[in-house]
Structure 1
Amino acid sequence: MSWSSGSESEESASPNNLIPSLPDDVALNCLGRIPRSQHPTLSLVSKPIRTLLSSPILFTTRTLLQCTQPLLYLTLRSRHSSLLQFFTLHRTNPNNPLLAPLPPIPSPAVGSAYAVLGPTIYVLGGSIHDVPSPNVWLLDCRFNRWLRGPSMRVGREFAAAGVLHGKIYVLGGCVADTWSRSANWAEVLDPATGQWERVASPTEVREKWMHASAVVGERIYAMADRGGIAYEPSSGAWESVGVELDHGWRGRACVVEGILYCYDYLGKIKGFDVGRGVWEELKGLEKGLPRFLCGATMADLGGKLCVVWECQGNENEMEIWCAEIGVKKNSDGELWGQLVWFGKVLSVPKGSSIVNCSSVSL
């Protein structure tokens, strides 16, 4: 099976008679505008439409029509199992959002890095039986199926990853104790060729554990054991991040409209303006959301800040909650959040944990 998530041979050809009495190109234009949340119902209409829904041509059409929608993908790990559970969030009923399960990853690992490119989530490395792996798995979110990707040059766990200009960069996650590991401490994948290439890196930045990462502007930022680093692929420059960003970055972060968001030691959401070099509290949410003292996971959901966190449920269960927040600067230049919705989306066995959340436009 090919690793590529691009065009899928000629099964992508448009089927005939999509809508009786309409030319197929007109019918495709109409069907491409129907929200993805309605596709399960749409598949029951006819066999030609069902075939279309499993064809890349529909997603190409939706992109050309600018009808794609951001969807949240969530990865959970059970306390008593090495298996990872993958879900996507459906909001067909705004008052009853639902996390729908997806097929399990063929080879689960601990400490994988995640990156999103187009309709695909890349799961990079992670340890299998305590051994760092170079494996790469791709979740093609159009069809909810897993594909094997091109292996990295070295095994990694708890690496940093980021996407810039259509290429996937991965930093760290390996002990730079041999020439091979040192030379390949950072590497880049060009999906067009399916090849990983080493990225030259100075000795002073080669930490093993990378706790968090994000792409802001033209740079990939990563937080390591001792301080953070920034890499600019266009110039090949590496540098340490400033003290303000280093001290304030806590937990998993995301970037919305150029502002990096995470939470502080008091559990409040805050944003970092890289240009100004300062942190600011995201105001306007004081009465709407809890304080994230136990952490939260964040994603850019189509220009809105999506926050996912764990809550105590009953004696044997834990609850997963989600919030969608509109973020902007008010007339005084302050970061301001407007709560769009929030609520419980899933109950899981006690001891489960959120591994990752990503946004994919489909």
Structure 2
Amino acid sequence: MEMISTIWEDGKKVNSFLKMDRREGVNDGFPKLGPSDSLLPGLIDDVALNCLAWVSRSDYASLSCINKRYSKLINSGYLYGLRKEMGVVEHLVYLVCDPRGWVAFDPKISRWMALPKIPCDECFNHADKESLAVGCELLVFGRELMEFAIWKYSLVCRGWVKCQEMNQPRCLFGSSSLGSIAIVAGGSDKYGNVLKSAELYDSASCTWELLPNMHTPRRLCSSFFMDGKFYVIGGMSSTTVSLTCGEEYNLSTKCWRRIEGMYPYVNVGAQAPPLVAVVDNQLYAVEHLTNMVKKYDKEKNTWEVLGRLPVRADSSNGWGLAFKACGDKLLVVGGQRGPEGEAIVLNSWCPKTSVANGTIDWQVLGMKEHVGVFVYNCAVMGC
């Protein structure tokens, strides 16, 4: 199993799995290959693997029960690497909205799944947390009794492990992922100092790398990738100074560029960080005071009003609501109260469709009842 995982992480070709399989067939529990002994009868295994990469991820548990070869293939994570090479993407929406812990929603099959409980201390359970999906991992950042901590859920291993800590542990930072990497920027250290440092996380090696500092320290900010570059907008540089500027980090030149007036909505008091999402390299945001969705014009550095949210964001200063990208759709996850009680509703909209008379045609993607109306954390994984 270790060799297969290493092959995937190092980006070897598809037939690397086949060569190892033929070489170690008896010792590792795999049967040796023969005319009637292939993964899919009638097909050579390199073709069979390409076919299996298109199988829905929700069927992996069933596939792993077929025989030992399938079980080892699924548990190695090899198919996830192959799917990435082939551009096969399915999404999972992870969220926590009640004390029972994290759940995942699969939009393709409209199914909810409960994740195992994080084996953390009680302090981590009750402290504020940030979350981030990168590669096939869900990272949850929080505070344990003495220090900051990061717990990592692996979609491949289906369990939680402690993640290596950042070089400069922090909270209230901006973060975003691009494929197998993620960047966190700004935030506060454990003494309350506002940071201008940034770090890159590589999920293949599970390591953190310090990046050059931003021009301006900021906390309660938001981040995203757009056109292959990393951005940080909004936030506060102190308890009284709100920031309307943004910063752009170029991964090629390793330089930051300050963008004046990129997010001109001042953070006052206890407002949430900017609610932003990028779909097809276009930036969208929620102005929670008016419950309106806006689109950013990169050339003019201005914002255009599109239409209204399907839920209210103004009642709680933008907290308790998630605004995310999910493939080619914008996703709004929020609570509602109805005759049958409280529920969390996932609403989606594809920006490729038109906006009629200032009205966005939101569609209900899923609903989870009896879990409250406040979304504490939400992350969308595509793999």
Which entry has the higher C-alpha Rg, 1 or 2? 2
5+ unaligned residues in a row in structure 1: which ranges?
none
Query: Does the CA contact (< 8 Å) of 1:116 and 1:360 recur in 2?
Result: yes
Partner in structure 1 of residue 224 of structure 2: 214
The question of whether the paired residues in 1 share the 8 Å contact of 2:199 and 2:209 is answered with yes
CA–CA separation in structure 2 for the residues paired with 1:37 and 1:51: 17
Q: 2:233, 2:263 within 8 Å by CA — same for their partners in 1?
A: no
Query: Identity over aligned residues, as a percent?
Result: 19
Residue 243 of structure 2 corresponds to residue 227 of structure 1: yes
1:237 matched to 2:266? The reply is no
Match of 1:297 among 322, 344, 351: 322
**In the alignment, structure 1 residue 118 sits paired with structure 2 residue 138:** no
**Residue pair 2:235, 2:273 contacting (<8 A) in 1 also:** no
Per-residue deviation, 1:20: 3.9
Bigger relative contact order, structure 1 or 2, given CA contacts below 8 A and separation 6+? Answer: 1
2: CA distance between counterparts of 1:335 and 1:272?
16
- Structure 2: which 5+ residue stretches go unaligned? 11-15, 22-29, 32-36, 237-241
Structure 1 counterpart of 2:93: 73
With structure 1 as the length reference, what TM-score do the two structures score? 0.75
> Which residue in the other structure is 2:104 paired with?
88
What's the offset of the Cα at 1:197? 2.0
Using the alignment, how far apart are the partners of 1:146 and 1:22 within structure 2?
Answer: 37
Q: 1:102 aligns with which of 96, 100, 115?
A: 115
Name 1:196's counterpart in structure 2: 209
Q: Which moved more, 1:234-243 or 1:296-305?
A: 234-243
Q: What's the counterpart of residue 34 of structure 2?
A: none
Q: Verify the 8 A CA contact 2:244 2:266 in the aligned structure 1.
A: no
Alpha-carbon spacing, 1:336–1:142, altered in 2? closer, same or farther (3 Å): farther
SS in 2 for 1:153: coil
Distance 2:153 2:221 in 1: 23
Using the TM superposition, give the Cα deviation of residue 297 of structure 1 relative to its aligned residue in structure 2, in angstroms. Answer: 0.9
**Which whole-Å deviations, capped at 9, do the CAs of 1:99-129 have from their partners, x for residues lacking one?**
21112333346343333332223334x3335
The Cα of 1:321 is off from its aligned counterpart by 0.4
- Provide closer, same or farther for how the CA distance between residues 100 and 361 of structure 1 changes in structure 2, counting only shifts above 3 A: same
> Which residue does the alignment assign to 2:53?
32
Name the CA shift for 1:230/1:166 in 2 (closer, same or farther; >3 Å): farther
Conserved 8 A contact 2:335-2:375? yes
**SS across alignment from 1:156:** coil
Q: Deviations over 1:27-86 (max 9, x none)?
A: 2222222111333343444443233222222122222333222x13222143xx4x7x22
Task: Write the distance in 1 (CA, Å) between the matches of 2:181 and 2:155.
Answer: 18
CA contact (8 A) 1:325 1:337 kept: yes
Please tell me whether the aligned partners of residues 33 and 65 of structure 1 are also in contact (alpha carbons under 8 angstroms).
no
Do the aligned residues in 1 keep the contact of 2:184 with 2:198 (CA within 8 Å)?
yes
CA–CA distance in 2 between the matches of 1:282 and 1:44? 48
Distance 1:158 1:21, change over 3 A: same
| Cα 1:278/1:222, change in 2 over 3 Å | closer
1:310 Cα deviation after fit: 0.9
Q: 2:265 matched to 1:246?
A: yes
Once residues 176 and 332 of structure 2 are traced to their aligned partners in structure 1, the CA distance between those partners, rounded to angstroms, is: 19
Change (3 A) 1:240 1:21: closer
2:155 corresponding residue in structure 1: 141
More strand by percentage: 1
Shift of 1:327: 0.4
Tell me which residue corresponds to 2:26.
Answer: none
1:308 counterpart residue number:
333
* 1:255 Cα deviation from its structure 2 partner: 1.1
Q: In 1, Cα distance between the equivalents of 2:190 and 2:247?
A: 18
In structure 2, the residue corresponding to 1:282 is in which secondary structure?
strand
Please give the TM-score of this superposition, normalised by the length of structure 2: 0.72
**Partner of 2:264: helix, strand, or coil?**
helix
Displacement after TM superposition at 1:344 (Å): 4.5
Give distance in 2, aligned partners of 1:243 and 1:63. 33
Compared CA separation, residues 49 and 237, structure 1 to 2 (3 A): closer
- Aligned-partner Cα distance in 2 for 1:229–1:310: 31
**Count of matched residue positions in the alignment of Structure 1 and Structure 2:** 335
Aligned amino acid, residue 368 of structure 2: L
